[in-house]
């Protein structure tokens, strides 16, 4: 498979945060890691991104073992929950920032940065300061910055949690569009069942550091592996698309 | 690679970027860390060990005999020191709160005036304030004798306490001002809304909210008072503290062993106070580092009952004394006596320019070097210790706070003892003076930088790594730009402290690298009060001008960034 | 150039590789000074013949170079050292520093002094430094012209003059308090002066130490004198100039202070009066010495020879010092007349100054404490 996590373990002191986690993901798929806060999903993301080193286990990406690589050497890019934009740089400088490490010259980096800004609809704000942007716009800049380095894998850590409900729905659809158009493999962390069901090709439900179930949304919804997974999903009725993904959720 | 559907962007190599291999850059990162920690060991720990070692020398062996002797002979001075430090801490904090409240609640130009006065008087060259005190309040002082018709004896423990209290106020007051202006206006409004009258707001909201700041002022004043030798030496009369006794041992007896032992003894209460400070700071959380708003605090002090009246009165009294004192200093530099009458003169100025013009320039250059290098060092150090959480970080953090607790003379002697032999022969060079100032001021600059560091989101740092930058890139692209607000504070602190540092450099200055503050000390020693006052005036002028320029430059750049 | 050096220092510091860079810069200077060593002994003897003639002729300057670092009691000596630079090409860097500061620094430096020449200061500090082996022996032919009482027999230190001690009175205060001017040391014990006399702590002030030592030498029961005097003394200043400054500031009526041209000048500025005690004037030589192991020892040694071998140089010194006492040091000096009768000077055995210092000061210390606190 394109992304393979094998038997990952991570503990902080006495606390086992990730327990024997193994999962696989095909290229161009979007995996949602879903779970209540404190279940180890962000830690898992940090392990994939290289910000934490696992105590044991390995991570394979596109056939390459990346377990020992530091973040800057991993072909992985992250959209952080708080975006992590650089306030002292312009929007374009932010988006083009990662390109200089790929050895791209300034003019080419600028051109590519603009291309991705256009993609997220912010080409006209290229020269703005980060603080001059709204929350949704900052979110898009963070996404453009991650996509611009053309990572093999894009990680998103609850990226929409700081947005209001309407904007969140809109951004979900845009993200899905980008992912499909650009054919990017993504891992998306969320505690929002609705978000996971709408976005994901596959969903990994985590409970107390361990994988509770890994399945496509439909299967997960119809055959929860355990009562606790079913309780966590807690939704009533779904409207399905033709391709088997979720179109709409109807809550109780 | 999952190729994007977008157009191709060719990988043209940039000429200069990342010519270094990742391994080399990794090594460089480790080397910077190593250099930082090694410098701390070399320039703080090692001199301290030298002092300790010297204090244990007993003619023909190692013993604690000197400590026993110090304890026997100087118990009275130790008691005096503790008494003075306690009283100074209380009085100084009271004045600080009063001055800060008066300034923060002042309207329009009053607030600007108060801020201006505090900023100027924060630059307080050593010794001259005490000289002004004698001129104003001595037995034949301007105020006490000529205006009030009193003939008081100012040479006692109360003179020392009053003088110390007044001269430590500006820094404390500015710190409290920062807290007051950042205070959540919502709670004040809520209190008003709920029917609280001004005096209740003051008592129930404002004072409790700045309580952590008040504690900090108490402890910092306590430590500063313990280490201050200039004030008791000049206006103590027969009254002596450990700090002034150390000065006597060094200047009169050149007894390094005894002076070292006394320094180490004095360290005990300082360290105790400092650990209390750290404990309280951890409990209340750091509050500095944010940019204060230029907003007034709504609280009419005159309607705050007795407490408000006392505070307003204390604040006004403080400002009055402060203004008189600085006028006295500024004027003294341009006055000489002819047949008992004071007349205006440029004689002192002419003499200063003839013999010491280069001294002033050198002081400024050294202070600039310390301000830049020291700020840079503090930024890196706080990043590695607080962000990267390197191993033994807290140990090094403790080491880095040590110089704050040491009397300056002790730190200076330690440097001579440590660096007088090859391969570490630094005595007689500019480096030893610069390093001494830098590391003496490191405790404060590190605190400022750490506070600023806390404002930089973790995600920015991760983003750099994620997009392909390494640890060095993080420092360059996130940490240093993110600490821009701290730069100004560190620079200002380093610069003014370097221009006015008194204790340490007294023993590190050599022919060829004289500094203005040493010339000031020498002038005080020779009784050339006018010259001392004139040098002090120049020091204040230089600091105000240089810091003003840096502030303007920084705020212009800031504006350019925002627009 | 200087700025460039400083900038590079800053850089070195920031990079943490400063030690190497700095050591290199320093080495250059010391190697220069040692190159002068060879020629020095030869010129020393030559210069001896030169000084025999009455012409203020300086000894032929040996090959000296580099910089001579001087710690002096005053920066006004610059004009004297400018002459030295003109004659020898040795640049001089001068720093004004009190002798207590110099001695502490010297001890801390552990035999690696950062200055070459010590110019001025109470002789007790010089004696102490000699005892610690911190001074360099200097011998030259013209030293024979100097009075034996005022130089070290082995040539470790010389005197460039005497500092004498007397009283400075504040006439305004004396009038207000209706006090009679004291004329002798014994007069100071009059109870009417209680709280109006200020002297310096003898540990800090060489001149006030001279008062203590000289009176102990000459008086029958010296210690009871000081115990009685202590009753009248308001405070013991922690700086040598305290009595002068506090009397001129109308703080105290009587100060026990050094007397020289600068004190004479005060008569024009303030309503003050100088008293030369009629029962004897304590005095202390003003020292000159070369630091052992200094970087430019040769230049400093030659300076001592240069100064004392030439009447012209000594006259220049006397002019700067505003003291005529150099005539006592070198009786055959021409062009200077002593401003007072040498008979008024107290009889002092200088050798006791160094030997008794620790003991006397220790005995004196309890006297100076805060009476109110110690009770």
C90: alpha, beta or left, given left = phi > 0 and alpha = psi -120 to 50? beta
Q: Between chains, do C100 and B416 touch, taking CB under 8 Å as contact?
A: no
What is the structure's pLDDT at B8?
Answer: 66
Quote the mean pLDDT of chain A.
87
> Which chain B residues touch A if contact means CB-CB below 8 Å?
1-7, 9-14, 17-18, 22, 457-470, 473, 477-478, 481-482, 484, 561-562
Which pLDDT value is given to residue B551? 83
pLDDT band at A202 (very low <50, low <70, confident <90, very high): very high
Q: Are B103 and B173 in contact (CB under 8 A)?
A: yes
Q: For residues A195-203, give the mean pLDDT.
A: 90
Q: What share of chain A is helix, strand, coil (3-state, %, to 5)?
A: 40, 30, 35
Q: Which residue has the higher pLDDT, A188 or B428?
A: A188
pLDDT tens digits, one per residue of B247-263: 988 888 888 889 999 99
State the average pLDDT over residues B308-337: 91
Residue with more model confidence, A227 or B125: B125
Q: Taking a C-beta distance cutoff of 8 angstroms, is the pair B551, B351 a contact?
A: no
Contact residues, A window 155-194, toward B, CB-based 8 Å cutoff: 181-185
Nearest chain A alpha carbon to B471: A72
Q: Which of B381, B527, B529 to mutate to test the interface with C (most CBs of C within 10 A)?
A: B527
Q: Is the pLDDT of residue B403 over 50?
A: yes
pLDDT-derived band at B197 (thresholds 50, 70, 90) equals: confident
Chain A residues whose beta carbon lies within 8 Å of the beta carbon of residue B460: 84-86
User: Which is more confident, B348 or B17?
Assistant: B348
Select the residue of A71, A112, A181 nearest B466 (Cβ to Cβ). A71
Beta bridge partners of C77: none
Top-level class of domain B15-63+345-563 = mainly alpha
Q: How far apart are CA A137 and CA B142, in angstroms?
A: 66
Q: Which residues contact A231 (CB under 8 A, 6 or more apart)?
A: none
Alpha helical stretches, state H, chain A = 41-49, 91-96, 106-119, 135-148, 165-182, 193-199, 217-222, 227-233
Q: How confident is the model at residue C22 (pLDDT cuts 50, 70, 90)?
A: very low
> Residues B428-439: what's their mean pLDDT?
92
> What is the reported pLDDT for C53?
41
CB C64 within 8 A of CB C90: yes
**CB-based contact C14 B377, cutoff 8 Å:** yes
Residue numbers in B near A115 (CB within 8 A)? 6-7, 9
C274 touches chain B (CB under 8 A): no
The answer to whether residue B548 scores a pLDDT higher than 80 is yes
CA C318/CA B280 separation, integer angstroms:
62
Residue indicated by tokens 């009685």? C228
Confidence band, pLDDT 50/70/90 cuts, at residue B109: confident
d(CA B160, CA C49): 60
Q: Give the model's pLDDT for residue C88.
A: 92
Contact A108 B9 (CB under 8 A): yes
Q: Which C residues, 297 through 356, put their C-beta within 8 Å of a C-beta on chain B?
A: none
Which among C108, C246, C370 is the nearest to B238, CB-wise? Answer: C370
pLDDT band at C293 (very low <50, low <70, confident <90, very high): very high
More reliable by pLDDT, B62 or C94: C94
Region A169-179 average pLDDT: 89
Residue bearing tokens 């013993």: B63
Predicted confidence (pLDDT) per residue in A11-30, tens digit: 988 889 999 999 999 999 99
pLDDT tens for each residue of B466-520: 888 888 888 888 888 888 878 888 898 999 999 998 788 888 888 888 899 999 9
Q: Confidence band (pLDDT; 50, 70, 90) for B242? A: very high
C165, C277, C279: which is closest to C219 by C-alpha? C279
Please give the average per-residue pLDDT across A217-232, as a whole number. 81
Query: Confidence band (pLDDT; 50, 70, 90) for C191?
Result: very high
Given a cut of 60, whether residue B292 has pLDDT beyond it is no
Write the CA distances from B401 to B239, B270, B398, B406, integer angstroms. Answer: 30, 11, 5, 10
Identify how many contiguous H helices and E strands chain C contains and give both numbers: 17, 10
Percent of chain C with pLDDT over 90: 51
Contacts of C93 in chain B (CB under 8 A): 511-512
Domain residue extents for chain B: 15-63+345-563, 66-332
Cβ neighbourhood burial of A1 (10 Å; 0-12, 13-18, 19+): middle
Check pLDDT > 80 for residue B18. no
pLDDT for residue C170 is more than 70:
yes
DSSP letter for each residue of B157-203? HHHHHHHHHHHHHHHHHHHHHHHHHHS-HHHHHHHHHTT--HHHIII
Average the pLDDT over C142-168 and give the result: 93
Mean pLDDT of B415-429: 87
Write b or e for each residue in C226-238: b if 16 or more Cβ atoms lie within 10 A of its Cβ, otherwise e. beebbebbbbbbb
- pLDDT reading at A151 higher than 60: yes
C94: helix, strand or coil: strand
Mean pLDDT of all residues in C255-273 = 90
Q: How far apart are CA B129 and CA B499, in angstroms?
A: 16
Residues in a beta bridge with B344: B335
Q: Is C100 on the interface with B (CB under 8 A)?
A: yes
Closest of B425, B401, B423, B424 to residue B411, by C-alpha? B401
For residue C40, name the pLDDT band (cuts at 50, 70, 90). Answer: very low
What residue in C sits closest to B250 (Cα-Cα)? C104
Would you say the C-alpha torsion B171, B175, B178, B181 has a positive or negative sign? negative
Q: What is this model's ipTM? A: 0.83
Burial of B24: CB neighbours in 10 Å, binned 0-12, 13-18, 19+: exposed
- The interface residues of chain A toward chain B in range 113-142, judged by CB-CB distance below 8 A, are 115-116, 119, 129, 131
pLDDT of residue C41: 38
Closest Cα of chain B to C49: distance in Å?
33
Q: Do A100 and B17 touch (CB under 8 A)?
A: yes
- Average pLDDT taken over every residue of chain B: 85
Residue the block writes with tokens 């701290």? B486
How close does chain C come to B110, measured CA to CA in Å?
Answer: 35
Mean pLDDT computed over B304-325: 90
Q: Is the pLDDT of residue B122 over 90?
A: no
Q: Which two tokens stand for residue A192?
A: 């929002």
SS3 B487: helix
Sign of CA dihedral C150, C152, C154, C158: negative
pLDDT at C24 over 80: no
A62: left (phi over 0), alpha (psi -120 to 50) or beta: left
**Structure confidence at residue C20 as a pLDDT band (50, 70, 90):** very low
Neighbours of chain A (3+ CB pairs under 8 A): B
CATH number belonging to the domain at B66-332, selected among 1.10.10.10, 3.40.1390.10, 1.10.3720.10, 3.40.640.10: 1.10.3720.10
**CB within 8 Å: C13 and B336:** no
pLDDT at position B289 is 39
- Residue C140's pLDDT is 93
Only one residue has tokens 């650089």, namely: A86
pLDDT at B319: 94
Q: Count CB neighbours of B298 within 10 A.
A: 13
pLDDT at B170 over 60: yes
As a whole number of angstroms, the distance between CA B268 and CA B70 comes to 14
Asked if domains B15-63+345-563 and B66-332 share a fold, the reply is yes
- What is the rounded distance in angstroms from the CA atom of residue C285 to the CA atom of residue C283? 7
* C-alpha dihedral sign at C328, C332, C336, C342: positive
């Amino acid at each position: 498979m394109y992304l393979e996590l094998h038997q990952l373990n991570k503990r902080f002191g006495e606390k086992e945060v990730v327990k024997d986690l193994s999962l696989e993901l095909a290229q161009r798929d979007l995996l949602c890691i879903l779970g209540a806060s404190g279940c180890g999903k962000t830690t898992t993301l940090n392990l994939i991104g290289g910000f934490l080193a696992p105590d044991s286990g390995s991570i394979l990406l596109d056939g390459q073992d990346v377990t020992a690589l530091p973040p800057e050497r991993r072909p992985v890019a992250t959209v952080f929950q708080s975006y992590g934009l650089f306030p002292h740089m312009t929007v374009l400088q932010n988006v083009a920032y990662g390109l200089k490490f790929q050895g791209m010259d300034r003019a080419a980096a600028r051109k590519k940065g603009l291309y991705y800004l256009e993609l997220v609809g912010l080409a006209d704000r290229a020269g703005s300061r980060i603080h001059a942007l709204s929350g949704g716009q900052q979110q898009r800049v963070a996404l453009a910055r991650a996509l611009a380095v053309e990572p093999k894998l894009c990680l998103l850590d609850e990226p929409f949690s700081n947005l209001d409900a309407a904007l969140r729905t809109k951004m979900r659809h845009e993200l899905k569009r980008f992912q499909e158009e650009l054919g990017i493999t993504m891992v998306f962390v969320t505690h929002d069942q609705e978000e996971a069901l709408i976005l994901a090709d596959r969903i990994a439900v985590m409970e107390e550091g361990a994988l509770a179930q890994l399945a496509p949304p439909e299967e997960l919804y119809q055959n929860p592996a355990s009562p606790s997974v079913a309780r966590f999903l807690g939704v009533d009725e779904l409207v399905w698309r033709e391709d088997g993904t979720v179109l709409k959720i109807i809550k109780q | 690679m999952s190729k994007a559907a977008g157009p191709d962007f060719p990988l043209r190599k940039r000429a200069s970027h990342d010519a270094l291999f990742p391994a080399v850059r990794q090594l460089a990162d480790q080397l910077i860390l190593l250099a930082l920690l090694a410098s701390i060991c070399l320039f703080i720990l090692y001199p301290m060990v030298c002092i300790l070692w010297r204090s244990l020398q007993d003619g023909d062996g190692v013993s604690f005999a000197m400590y026993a002797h110090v304890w026997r002979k100087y118990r009275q001075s130790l008691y005096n020191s503790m008494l003075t430090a306690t009283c100074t801490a209380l009085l100084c904090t009271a004045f600080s709160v009063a001055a800060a409240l008066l300034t923060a609640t002042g309207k329009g130009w009053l607030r600007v005036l108060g801020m201006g006065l505090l900023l100027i008087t924060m630059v307080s060259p050593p010794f001259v304030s005490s000289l002004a005190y004698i001129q104003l309040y001595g037995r034949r002082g301007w105020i006490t004798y000529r205006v009030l018709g009193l003939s008081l004896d100012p040479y006692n423990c109360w003179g020392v306490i009053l003088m110390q209290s007044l001269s430590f106020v500006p820094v404390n007051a500015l710190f409290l001002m920062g807290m007051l202006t950042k205070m959540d206006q919502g709670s004040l409004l809520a209190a008003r809304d709920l029917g609280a009258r001004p005096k209740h707001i003051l008592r129930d909201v404002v004072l409790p909210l700045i309580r952590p700041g008040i504690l900090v002022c108490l402890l910092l004043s306590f430590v500063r008072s313990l280490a201050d030798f200039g004030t008791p030496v000049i206006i103590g009369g027969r009254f002596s503290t450990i700090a002034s006794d150390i000065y006597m041992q060094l200047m009169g007896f050149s007894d390094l062993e005894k002076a070292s032992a006394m320094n180490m003894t004095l360290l005990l209460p300082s360290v105790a106070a400092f650990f209390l400070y750290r404990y309280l700071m951890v409990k209340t959380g750091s509050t500095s580092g944010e940019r204060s708003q230029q907003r007034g605090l709504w609280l009419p002090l005159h309607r705050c009952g007795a407490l408000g009246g006392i505070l307003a009165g204390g604040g006004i009294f403080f400002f009055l004394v402060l203004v008189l004192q600085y006028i006295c200093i500024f004027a003294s530099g341009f006055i000489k006596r002819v047949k008992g009458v004071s007349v205006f003169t440029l004689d002192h100025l002419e003499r200063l320019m003839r013999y010491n013009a280069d001294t002033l320039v050198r002081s400024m250059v050294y202070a600039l070097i310390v301000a830049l290098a020291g700020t840079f060092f503090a930024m890196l150090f706080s990043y590695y210790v607080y962000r990267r959480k390197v191993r033994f970080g807290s140990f090094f953090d403790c080491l880095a706070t040590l110089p704050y607790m040491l009397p300056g003379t002790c730190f200076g002697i330690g440097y001579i003892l440590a660096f007088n032999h090859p391969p570490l022969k630094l005595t007689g060079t500019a480096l030893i003076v610069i390093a001494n100032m830098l590391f003496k001021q490191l405790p404060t600059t590190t605190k400022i930088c750490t506070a600023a560091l806390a404002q930089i989101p973790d995600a920015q740092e991760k983003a750099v790594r994620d997009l392909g930058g390494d640890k060095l890139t993080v420092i360059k692209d996130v940490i240093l730009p993110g600490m821009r607000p701290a730069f100004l504070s560190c620079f200002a602190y380093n610069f003014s402290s370097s221009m006015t540092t008194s204790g340490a450099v007294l023993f590190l200055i050599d022919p060829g690298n004289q500094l203005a503050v040493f010339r000031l000390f020498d002038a005080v020693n020779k009784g050339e009060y006018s010259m001392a006052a004139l040098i002090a005036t120049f020091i204040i002028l230089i600091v105000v001008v240089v810091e003003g320029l840096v502030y303007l430059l920084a705020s212009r750049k800031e504006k350019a960034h925002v627009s | 150039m200087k700025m460039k050096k400083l900038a590079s220092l800053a850089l070195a510091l920031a990079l943490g590789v400063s030690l190497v860079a700095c050591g290199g810069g320093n080495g250059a200077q010391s190697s220069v000074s040692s190159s002068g060593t060879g020629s020095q002994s030869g010129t020393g003897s030559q210069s001896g013949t030169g000084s025999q003639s009455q012409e203020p002729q300086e000894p032929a300057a040996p090959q000296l170079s580099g910089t001579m670092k001087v710690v002096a009691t005053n920066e006004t000596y610059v004009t004297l050292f400018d002459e030295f630079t003109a004659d020898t090409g040795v640049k001089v860097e001068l720093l004004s520093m009190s002798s207590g500061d110099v001695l502490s620094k010297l001890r801390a430096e552990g035999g690696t002094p950062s200055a070459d020449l010590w110019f001025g200061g109470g002789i007790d500090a010089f004696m102490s430094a000699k005892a610690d082996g911190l001074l360099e022996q200097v011998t030259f032919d013209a030293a024979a012209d100097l009075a034996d009482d005022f130089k070290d027999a082995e040539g470790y230190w010389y005197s460039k003059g005497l500092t004498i001690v007397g009283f400075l009175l504040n006439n305004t205060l004396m009038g207000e308090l209706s006090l009679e001017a004291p004329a002798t040391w014994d007069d100071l014990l009059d109870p009417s002066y209680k709280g109006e006399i200020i002297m310096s702590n003898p540990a800090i002030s060489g001149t006030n130490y001279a008062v203590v030592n000289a009176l102990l030498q000459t008086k029958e029961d010296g210690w009871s004198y000081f115990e009685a005097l202590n009753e009248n003394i308001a405070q013991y200043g922690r700086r040598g100039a305290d009595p002068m400054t506090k009397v001129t500031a109308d703080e105290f009526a009587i100060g026990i202070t050094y007397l020289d041209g600068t004190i004479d000048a005060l008569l024009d500025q303030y309503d003050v009066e100088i008293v030369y005690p009629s029962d004897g004037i304590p005095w202390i030589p003003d020292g000159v010495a070369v630091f052992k192991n200094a970087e430019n020892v040769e230049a400093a040694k030659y300076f001592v020879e240069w100064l004392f071998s030439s009447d012209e140089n000594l006259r220049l010194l006397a002019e700067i010092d505003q003291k005529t006492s150099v005539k006592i040091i070198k009786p055959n000096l021409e062009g200077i007349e002593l401003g007072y009768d040498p008979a008024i000077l107290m009889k002092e055995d200088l050798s006791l100054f160094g030997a008794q210092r620790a003991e006397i000061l220790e005995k004196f210390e309890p006297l100076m404490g805060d009476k109110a606190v110690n009770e």
